[in-house]
Amino acid sequence: MSSSIHGAGPPDGGSGAAASGRERVLDVATRLFAALGYDGTSTRLIAEAAGLNVATVAYHAGGKRELYLAVMERAHRLEQEALAGALAAFTPDAAGVRALVDGYLDFCVAHPQVPALWMHRWLSDAADVADLEARYARPLIDTIIAAIGPAVPAGVDVEYAVMTVIWVTHGFGAGGLPAAGGERRRLDDPAEVARFRAHLHQLVERMLGL
């Protein structure tokens, strides 16, 4: 039998090909975890979608739990980089807060799999992987709270305001706006995103008293 079945060596040849193979597996796993959740996705399903056998997937990224952890870590890095870029230009005033909200919405539009992954976790997906919120979500939330705090009047619950933006943006990405014909307009509909953005601006300004 081949080494790809036994796991004795790189299934794709050299280390560069192995790295490329890992990215391919992670791309497919991200898409499936975002669509079906951790509990609804199997390693075999990931392997079939990637056009590989289960042993080759295991070589590249380990088992299902390891795959999920790698997917969530990669999603976190994307979000962390986007937040760092937005905060670099942030000013603690109404315009700065609106720009930060826009940056978050733009990130979700560009990477819809990230809010989808977190939506599944809110519904108790992957309940046995319990520390991802503390490891990934909470530090980013605390960073945003600390940044916008000086721009917000006293008495405003900044934490709930930040979480409200996250909740409604993720909800819009997952459920969208139902149309008369039964279709749903979501993050992939530019006109609906523009409408949602205007609503989000009004919501944030009223929540924060800006």
Task: Spell out the domains of the chain, with CATH numbers in brackets.
Answer: 3-62 (1.10.10), 71-208 (1.10.357)
**pLDDT tens, position by position, 156-203:** 999 999 999 999 999 999 998 888 888 889 999 999 999 999 999 999
User: What is the structure's pLDDT at 21?
Assistant: 79
Residue 176 and residue 88 in contact, taking contact as beta carbons nearer than 8 Å: no
- 42: region left, alpha or beta (phi > 0 left; psi from -120 to 50 alpha): beta
From 116, 110, 101, select the one nearest 172 (Cα to Cα): 116
Residue 53 and residue 4 in contact, taking contact as beta carbons nearer than 8 Å: yes
If you write DSSP's letter for every residue of the chain in order, what string do you get?
A: --HHHHTSS-TTSSHHHHHHHHHHHHHHHHHHHHHH-STT--HHHHHHHHT--HHHHHHHH-SHHHHHHHHHHHHHHHHHHHHHHHHHT--SSHHHHHHHHHHHHHHHHH-THHHHHHHHHHTTTTTT---HIIIIIHHHHHHHHHHHGGGS-TT--HHHHHHHHHHHHHHHHHH-EE-TTS-EE-TT-HHHHHHHHHHHHHHHHHHHT-
pLDDT bracket for residue 13 (50, 70, 90): very low
Model confidence at 17: pLDDT above 80: no
**pLDDT tens, position by position, 25-78:** 999 999 999 999 999 999 999 999 999 889 989 888 889 999 999 999 999 999
Q: Quick one: tokens of 176?
A: 């969208």
pLDDT bracket for residue 103 (50, 70, 90): very high
Mean pLDDT score, 110-119: 96
pTM: 0.84
Separation CA 98–CA 104 (nearest Å): 10
User: What is the structure's pLDDT at 145?
Assistant: 95
pLDDT bracket for residue 22 (50, 70, 90): confident
Q: Quick one: tokens of 116?
A: 């989808």
**Average model confidence (pLDDT) for the chain?**
88
pLDDT bracket for residue 5 (50, 70, 90): very low
